[in-house]
Structure 1
Amino acid sequence: MMSITDPNMSDRFTSEMEEIHSKHLKTYADIIDMTTELSLSHKQLVKSAVETCLKKCTDDEKLFETIKTFKKDLQQKTVALKEKQHAISEMMSEIQEKDTEKEKIIQKIENLKEEQIKRKQIIESQYKANKTRLRNLQKARLVFQDHLGLEIRTILSKTQSAKGEKLQFVYRNINPSDPESAYVITMGIKENGSYQIVSSDPVLEGLPVLETRLQETNNLPAFLANVRKEFIGQVRR
């Protein structure tokens, strides 16, 4: 071991201390450089993170705006869809009402057709009955004209109250003092096919009874014979 009284000892100590100090300074400088580098790296990392966050925020804001726009558009489309559904519902209801009205009209038409057919059948039946009765009247005309001196005339009425064909029975040889004097009774046929007494000249009091009997029996020859008897009886009174 060297003695501290060695004159070179101080220089050597100083040199070693300076060397140690230099090492420490170098280490410190390395630490500072490393710290500076880490700091710069951290700053860059933070800057990059901030930029990334800002970009993310911007993208999120755009996304939120897009979502908001889509949501608003969806709401508008939903409202429009509801309006269309309501319009379609009203249209379907109107179509159903028209279908119901159409069915009612068709039913009314069918009912009218059925009524028309029934009416036509009734008219045809009445026409045939009237035709038969007129034929009988024509036959009676020949019989009574030959045997009873009865003149039968056909009258066509054009008035609204008495349209149709009527027969006028003109009796003669009733009054012995005036054989050519005419005693007249006018007859027609009702819509239901029954005989109808229109008038008599002169008026016979018992004519309503004879008409009722004619309606019951439908025996025209007997009716005409009874009318002749009534006229003769009225003259003899």
Structure 2
Amino acid sequence: MTMASIKDPHVVDSFRVAMEEVYSRLLVQTSGEISEAAVDLGLSHRRSMKSAADTCSKKCEDDKLFETIQTNKQDLAKKTLLMKEKRDAISRSLVEMEQKQGQKDALRLQMETLREEQAERRGLVVSQNRANKDRLKNLLKAKQVFQERLGLEIRRIHGQKLQFVFQNVNPASPENVYTFTMGINADGSYQIMSSDPMLESLGDLDKRLKQTNNISAFLANIRKEFVAQACFSTGS
């Protein structure tokens, strides 16, 4: 393009129009590119924000889940400890109940044993009283016989002890008295304590009385021993 052409108004207008068109196209292109870049940047920003939000949300959920797990663990530990304490308390209660039951059983057994012993003692007392009554009856019968025929007197001395007094034993001295003392044991048996004068055969007579339980025969035999001793003394 020559200087003359440049000075031509039509050429200048054409050039200006062309330049405006180029500028417009560049402006449109640049605006489009800027818009696209802005859109891409916005999308990228939104994706980044969403990713960050998701990450934060996941982290919050993880933290909450971890906190929940820890809380559940603590609750489970407390419940486990509480259950253990309850089991221990129940075990102690069972042991105490067993001990008390054992004590009750032992006490019941002791009471049963005591009742049985009391029943046995009552039975023994009844039997002994019956036996003593029988022996007393025999003694009274023997007393009547010997008192009438042989001058026997029976005296009660020192509780359960009886003193038997014989008269008319020694024909040379009928006023002399010959005595022996007899008791009744807990089992109802007779027990010869002593005699006056002392008889050497008293032990044998006592043994025979325990074997036969015949008081009349014993009284007759001991009087014979007194008579024999009196005759021996008189003869000497």
Measured against the shorter chain, the TM-score band is 0.7 to 0.9
CA drift of 1:63 comes to: 3.6
Separation in 1, partners of 2:205, 2:145: 20
Separation in 2, partners of 1:206, 1:70: 102
Separation in 1, partners of 2:137, 2:12: 179
**Which of 124, 127, 137 is the matching residue for 1:125?**
127
Q: Which runs of 5+ in 2 are unaligned?
A: 1-7
- TM-score scaled by length of structure 2: 0.82
**Matched residue type, 2:94:** M
Could you tell me which residue of structure 1 aligns to residue 218 of structure 2?
223
Separation in 2, partners of 1:47, 1:113: 96
Deviation larger for 65-74 or 164-173:
65-74
Separation in 1, partners of 2:77, 2:207: 88
Q: Which runs of 5+ in 1 are unaligned?
A: 1-6, 158-163
**Which of 90, 93, 98 is the matching residue for 1:91?**
93
Q: Deviations over 1:26-45 (max 9, x none)?
A: 13311321220331243134
CA drift of 1:144 comes to: 0.9
Separation in 2, partners of 1:100, 1:222: 58
**Which of 55, 67, 70 is the matching residue for 1:68?**
70
Could you tell me which residue of structure 2 aligns to residue 31 of structure 1?
33
**Matched residue type, 1:137:** L
**Which of 135, 146, 153 is the matching residue for 2:155?**
153
Name the Cα RMSD after superposition: 2.7
Could you tell me which residue of structure 1 aligns to residue 174 of structure 2?
179
Separation in 2, partners of 1:153, 1:41: 140
**CA distance 1:138–1:166, change in 2 (3 Å):** farther
**Matched residue type, 2:179:** V
- TM-score scaled by length of structure 1: 0.82
Q: Deviations over 1:83-125 (max 9, x none)?
A: 3312321331232133223212212221222122112212211
Identity %: 46
Structure whose residues are more often helix by fraction:
2
**Matched residue type, 1:228:** R
**Matched residue type, 1:198:** M
Separation in 1, partners of 2:84, 2:153: 89
1:196 aligns with 2:191: yes
Which secondary structure state, in structure 2, belongs to the residue aligned with residue 173 of structure 1? coil
Alignment of 1:15-26 (within 5 A): 19=21, 22-26=24-28
- How many residues matched? 224
**Which of 218, 223, 228 is the matching residue for 1:233?**
228
**Matched residue type, 2:96:** E
CA drift of 1:18 comes to: 5.9
Separation in 1, partners of 2:77, 2:213: 88
